[in-house]
Amino acid sequence: MNEDVERDGRKQRRGMIPFEEAYRIVMESAVEMGAETVPLFEACGRVLARDIESDVDMPPFDKSAMDGYACRKEDLGAPLEIVETIPAGRMPAAAIGPGQCAKIMTGGVVPEGADCVVMIEHTELRGGKVVVTRNPGALNICHRAEDVKRGDIVLRTGVLISPSEIAVLAAVGRVEVPVSRRPVVGIAATGNEIVDPSAVPAAAEIRDSNRAQLFGQVEQAGCVPVDLGIVPDEPEAIAEVVERGEASADVLLFSGGVSMGEFDFVPRVLRERGFDLLFEEVAIKPGKPTVFGRKGGTFAFGLPGNPVSTFVIFELFVRPFCFALMGCGRAGLSISAELAETVRRKRPDRLAHVPVRLDGEGKARPVEYHGSAHIHAYTMADGFIALPIGTAEIRAGTSVRVMLTRRTCRGGGGCA
């Protein structure tokens, strides 16, 4: 049973809480980080901090959508006299009158008097005049301001800037772009048994994969990762890392040391350092012993030490939290897909997540998965699906929601 208890004058939630409640607590705790200005060529991947208005009409003039001849539609049945050639970037010299046309290039300014552009492929030159051999149908003119009017808002605050937004920013002359400040995220791994990836593990030791994994996930989330190193399971050592992290980071991520074991000191140390722990267990698999707390403007997540748990909890909680700190409502990419094979489990007492790949037909196919230490399974997956509490089986053919975790091409398979 869950209960609220007083600890050092603060109300704290004890016991395991539902994922939905934990997610709400995390997202409601987010406080936007403020803004800064960056050059246009450095803005991709950042979050826009202010609405952007257009300073021009788009298109700025009636322009030709084709290489062809600008003329009057009513004159198409007779040979047309060519009065000039209009390349892109040059104003027409004269208006188009009856029986006249101007050769025009794609992007060229449509001369006054013309109300259509006939594609070159639909014309022939006969005796120095243009004869239209096929009714053009379309006018082939992009009219002034048909896309955007001067003063229109073209991009809204909170959008994640991708190359298409970069193009719009360039088109409206925003060479300096207001963006949200990127949170600095300190990453530490705890455990007496883990060693740096550069080391050869001795007996009872394993290489630490979580810091490097989290480093990549933090970078993908548009934040600034800081390595706080490997920390032994000692309260004093953990306290020293928390102190360093508070001085240099907005968000602290600890992998390991958060469960109920004799050497799991992270929650205790965070409390002793003044963090208000808002929850310590979530009804989720993998990732039950997940911790979240705050101290003023600094936030801390304690993630389970098993690599899959660390990976999944980051995607479910930390990534959307980081976006919220930057004022972006992006909670993660997901798609709907048909489940290719039936998924079953024995104990439906927690929300569970199962890795899947998208096959050649776009169906979600479960990958071989041995549990929360089997991070290699996610190298073959494009994302994961959720099995709600109380659901022991999802049958093949069911439409499921796939939360995408892969943002690059997977060798021999799909891309996301």
Residue 8's pLDDT band, with cuts at 50, 70 and 90, is very low
pLDDT confidence bin for 11, thresholds 50/70/90: very low
pLDDT at residue 4 greater than cutoff 60: no
User: Does pLDDT of 153 surpass 90?
Assistant: yes
State the pLDDT at residue 13.
Answer: 46
Give the pLDDT confidence score for residue 189 in this predicted structure. Answer: 96
CA dist., res. 392 & res. 359, Å (int): 24
Please, are residues 366 and 356 in contact by the beta-carbon 8 Å criterion? yes
Q: Which fold has domain 63-142?
A: Molybdopterin biosynthesis moeA protein; domain 3 (2.170.190)
pLDDT at 411: 53
Provide DSSP, 16-47. -B-HHHHHHHHHHH-----EEEEEGGG-TTSB
Q: Which residue has the tokens 């005049």?
A: 129
Q: What is the pLDDT of residues 298-352, one digit of tens each?
A: 999 999 999 999 999 999 999 999 999 999 987 778 999 999 999 999 999 999 9
47 with 161: CB under 8 angstroms?
A: yes
Q: Residue 285: CB partners within 8 Å, gap ≥ 6?
A: 350, 351, 352, 353
Per-residue burial over 321-340, b if 16 or more Cβ lie within 10 Å, else e, is bbbbbbbbebeeeeeebebb
The whole-number average pLDDT for the span 171-188 is 98
Mean pLDDT of 102-114: 98
Distances (CA, A) of 43 to 227, 265, 304: 24, 40, 34
CATH 3.30.1280.10 fits 36-57+146-180, yes or no: no
What pLDDT is recorded for position 135? 83
Mean pLDDT of the chain: 92
On whether the pTM is more than 0.75, the answer is: yes
> What average pLDDT does this structure show over 210-225?
96
| Token digits of residue 137 | 């149908």
Q: Average pLDDT for residues 143-159, to the nearest whole number? A: 97
Q: What is the mean pLDDT of residues 77-101?
A: 97
For residue 374, the model assigns a pLDDT of 81
Q: Percentage of the chain surpassing pLDDT 90?
A: 86
**Mean pLDDT value across residues 139-146:** 96
How far apart are the C-alpha atoms of 218 and 234, rounded to whole Å? 26
SS3 319: helix
Strand partners, 116: 71
pLDDT of residue 24: 97
> Which pLDDT score is estimated for 414?
45
Q: Could you give the percent of the chain with pLDDT greater than 70?
A: 94
Rounded CA separation 347/363 (Å): 25
Q: 10-14 and 68-71: which strand pairing?
A: unpaired
Q: What is the largest CA-CA distance in the chain?
A: 97
The topology (CATH level 3) of 334-404 is Beta-clip (2.40.340)
**Helix and strand element counts for the chain (H, E):** 7, 30
Q: Where are the domains of the chain?
A: 3-34+181-325, 36-57+146-180, 63-142, 334-404
Q: Sorting pLDDT into bands at 50, 70 and 90, what band is 371?
A: confident
- The pLDDT, as a whole number, for residue 59 is 96
Averaged pLDDT, 204-229: 95
CATH 3.40.640.10 assigned to 3-34+181-325: no
161 contacts 46 by C-beta, under 8 angstroms: yes
Q: What is the mean pLDDT of residues 143-167?
A: 97
> Quick one: residue 143, left, alpha or beta (phi over 0 = left, psi -120 to 50 = alpha)?
beta
The two beta strands, 284-285 and 206-207, are: unpaired
Residue 121: pLDDT band (50, 70, 90) is very high
Beta bridge partners of 35: 180
390-412, pLDDT tens digit by residue?
Answer: 999 999 999 999 999 886 655 54
Q: Which residue has the higher pLDDT, 352 or 3?
A: 352
Statement: residue 7 has pLDDT above 90: no
Give start and end residues of each alpha helix (H) in 110-234: 163-171, 210-220
Q: What is the dihedral sign for C-alpha 193, 194, 199, 200?
A: positive
pLDDT at 354: 93
Quote the Cα angle for 380-384-386, to 5°. 155
pLDDT at 363 over 90: yes
Nearest to 26 by CA among 267, 234, 322, 332: 322
Predicted local distance difference test score (pLDDT) of residue 14:
57
Peptide bond into 59 cis (omega under 30): yes
- With beta carbons less than 8 A apart as the criterion, state whether 265 and 237 touch: no
Pairing of strands 129-132, 123-126: antiparallel
pLDDT at 369: 86
Give the separation between CA 37 and CA 180, rounded to whole angstroms: 8
